[in-house]
Amino acid sequence: MHIHVRDLLAEETGHNRTFAIEGEQPKTLSLVLTQPVNGEVTVTKLGDKQLTVNGLIATQLQLECHRCLRSYTSDVEAEFEQIYAVSPGEDELPITDEQIDLAPLIEQELVLRQPIKLLCQVDCVGIPGAEEYLTKGTF
Ligand SMILES: [Zn+2]
């Protein structure tokens, strides 16, 4: 999910361009995507060798319910703003070979948006008998 930013880097500060994201399938390390990523990002020249990326994307994740341990899918959206720099500082991502890679940004944003407790449904009853097992130590 690379965007070429050579032209944008040559522009004046404040200049921006919008890119559509359609049917992208980024390689993610810690998430399983069950739908391609769609959305839009706007890349703005921020300063010397720096860009800011604003975006909104939607996809679907495969998650595991914390209560019943079954897999389920969940539609997710992420809105984000991120600085990319040729010499990235803390919390900034690199501009490499006049390109920015959106995949790590999108993965990071989707991970950050996970609820602490993942449930396949609000009233998931969990594994039958598990509660008893936990309190009595036997089924
Ligand atoms: Zn469940």
12-21, 38-47, 92-101, 129-138, range with the lowest pLDDT = 129-138
Cα(118) to ligand 1 centroid in Å equals: 8
Centre of ligand 1 to C-alpha 105, Å, is: 29
The helices-and-strands tally (H runs, E runs) of the chain is 3, 7
Per DSSP, the three-state class of 121 is: coil
Alpha carbon of 82 to ligand 1 centroid (Å): 34
State the CB neighbour count (10 A cutoff) for residue 11: 13
Q: How confident is the model at residue 38 (pLDDT cuts 50, 70, 90)?
A: very high
CA 116 to centroid of ligand 1, rounded, Å? 14
**Residue 27: pLDDT band by 50, 70, 90 thresholds?**
confident
Say which residue the tokens 């880097």 belong to: 9
CA of 88 to the centre of ligand 1 (A): 41
pLDDT 10s digits, 96-130: 999 999 999 999 999 988 888 999 999 998 877 66
Name the residue range of residue 128's domain: 2-136
Give me the number of domains the chain comprises.
Answer: 1
The DSSP 8-state label assigned to residue 96 in this structure reads B
Confidence label for 8 from pLDDT (cuts 50, 70 and 90): very high
Specify the pLDDT at position 132. 62
Residue 15 carries which side chain, given as an amino acid letter? H
Ligand 1 centroid from CA 62, angstroms: 13
Nearest-angstrom CA–CA distance, 35 and 60: 5
Average pLDDT over residues 20-43: 93
